[in-house]
């Protein structure tokens, strides 16, 4: 017992020992990763082919792009899902999000991406408040799981920027083009059915009606093309990732206006239906039956007893 107490006291007197051991271990891990990257360098052509093959999967192509409005224009780019696929298939890249420090009410985290072959590194340090915005105002987070998810969600955007900062731009452009081709060539069902599924998803998950979507595009959903379908997917991913809000894309008053106009039309039609019988009755009243004096009789055909 005395030995354990003495050992604990020594650790308290030398708080830097554990930190130095941890740093030394991490340094050795980094050296080992760099050594393996030098021993087994990436084949650029094979890496590019793996990326393009991955982009041919419809499941990835549907979530590969995001889009949100800014300053009267729309900003679009590869999503975090596509960035992760790029890093995984490009090879010899270390990337992730680390929580450096957790303070009362906030966390300090770092997103990084490191090409172990070329020693090119991108990192971004940021602060995450332990709160989320709700309709009733800011809600403070106390559950460790909620805090972890908040840090991971905010870190994913920085991580995407770090990954795209070390992968060649032409590879990223080719991946985006391949994802768009995959969506255009996705023949699992007719375009009309895919558009109908998209409209259903908008209504169920974001309460965006078909009238609101048609108001934005300026024409009926029956006239949508493949490019309009791609536009819907980008907007849906933007709303799903929290990059934008429904109000940024759609006018919520459109649905109400449509309902009011339909009610007005139905009221007018009912009014016309009620007016027609009255009009016919009035026309019948105005008709005057011919009198006996006005009738012409053929005396030859009449006989009196």
pLDDT single digits (tens) 237-257: 988 888 888 888 888 776 555
What is the model's pLDDT at position 300? 43
pLDDT higher than threshold 60 for residue 267: no
Identify the residue whose tokens are 């020594």.
10
Higher-confidence residue of 116 and 295: namely 116
**pLDDT greater than 60 at residue 4:** no
| pLDDT greater than 70 at residue 226 | yes
Identify the weakest region by mean pLDDT among 69-78, 157-166, 168-177, 233-242: 69-78
Written as six digits, the tokens of 124 are 């971004």
Between 288 and 281, where is the model more confident?
A: 281
Asked if 198 and 233 count as a contact pair (C-beta separation under 8 A), the reply is yes
The arithmetic mean of pLDDT across residues 288-295, rounded, is: 46
* Contact of 229 with 191, CB cutoff 8 Å: yes
Give domain limits for the chain. 30-178, 187-249
pLDDT score of 165: 94
Section 272-293 average pLDDT: 54
pLDDT at 82: 95
Distance CA 174, CA 47 (A): 13
Q: How far apart are CA 239 and CA 205, in angstroms?
A: 10
At 16, is the pLDDT very low, low, confident or very high (cuts 50, 70, 90)? low
Q: 163 or 301: which carries more pLDDT confidence? A: 163
- Does 45 score more than 50 pLDDT? yes
Query: What local confidence, expressed as pLDDT, does residue 293 receive?
Result: 43
Does 270 have pLDDT greater than 60? no
Of 15-19, 101-105, 132-136, 229-233, minimum mean pLDDT range: 15-19
CA distances for 95 relative to 114, 118, 290, angstroms? 6, 14, 101
Q: What is the pLDDT of residues 119-155, one digit of tens each?
A: 899 999 999 999 988 888 888 998 999 999 999 999 9
**How far apart are the C-alpha atoms of 128 and 107, rounded to whole Å?**
5
Predicted local distance difference test score (pLDDT) of residue 17: 64
Model pLDDT, residue 47: 93
- By CB neighbour count within 10 A (0-12 exposed, 13-18 middle, 19+ buried), where does 69 fall? middle
Instruction: Give the Cα separation of 246 and 236 in Å (integer).
Output: 10
Is the pTM higher than 0.75? The answer reads no
Of 145 and 68, which is predicted with more confidence?
Answer: 145
Higher pLDDT, 111 or 282: 111
How many C-beta atoms lie closer than 10 Å to residue 71's C-beta? 6
Q: What is the CA radius of gyration of the chain?
A: 36
H-type helices in the chain, by residue range?
Answer: 2-13, 16-39, 44-55, 58-61, 80-90, 144-166, 169-184, 191-206, 210-217, 226-241, 246-249, 253-286
Average pLDDT in the chain: 80
- State the Cα–Cα distance between residues 43 and 45, nearest whole angstrom: 6
Is the distance from CB of 172 to CB of 79 less than 8 angstroms? Answer: no
9 has a pLDDT exceeding 90: no
CA angle at 303 for the pair 299 and 305, rounded to the nearest 5°: 140
DSSP code at position 116: T
Question: 51 with 86: CB under 8 angstroms?
Answer: yes
């Amino acid at each position: 017992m005395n030995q354990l107490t003495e050992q604990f006291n020594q650790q308290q007197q030398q708080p830097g020992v554990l930190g130095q051991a941890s740093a030394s271990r991490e340094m050795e891990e980094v050296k080992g990763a760099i050594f393996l990257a030098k021993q087994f360098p990436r084949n650029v052509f094979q890496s590019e082919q793996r990326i393009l093959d991955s982009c041919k999967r419809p499941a990835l192509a549907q979530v590969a792009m995001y889009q949100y409005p800014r300053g009267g224009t729309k900003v679009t780019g590869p999503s975090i899902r596509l960035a992760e696929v790029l890093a995984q298939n490009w090879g010899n890249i270390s990337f992730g999000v680390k929580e450096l420090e957790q303070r009362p009410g906030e966390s300090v985290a770092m997103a990084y991406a490191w090409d172990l072959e070329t020693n090119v590194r991108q990192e971004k340090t940021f602060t995450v408040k332990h709160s989320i915005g709700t309709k009733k105002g800011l809600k403070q987070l106390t559950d460790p799981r909620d805090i972890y998810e908040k840090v991971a969600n905010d870190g994913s955007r920085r991580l995407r920027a770090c990954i795209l900062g070390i992968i060649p731009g032409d590879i990223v452009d080719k991946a985006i083009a391949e994802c768009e081709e995959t969506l255009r060539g996705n023949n699992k069902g007719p375009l009309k059915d895919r558009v109908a599924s998209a409209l259903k998803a908008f209504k169920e998950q974001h309460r965006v009606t078909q009238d609101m979507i048609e108001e934005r595009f300026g024409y009926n959903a029956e006239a949508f093309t493949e490019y309009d379908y791609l536009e819907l997917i980008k907007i849906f991913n933007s709303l799903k990732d929290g990059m934008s809000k429904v109000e940024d894309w759609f006018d919520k008053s459109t649905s109400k206006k449509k309902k009011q106009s339909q009610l007005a039309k139905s009221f007018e039609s009912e009014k016309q239906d009620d007016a027609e019988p009255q009009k016919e009755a009035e026309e019948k009243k105005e008709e005057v039956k011919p009198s006996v004096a006005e009738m012409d009789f053929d005396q030859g055909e009449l006989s009196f007893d």
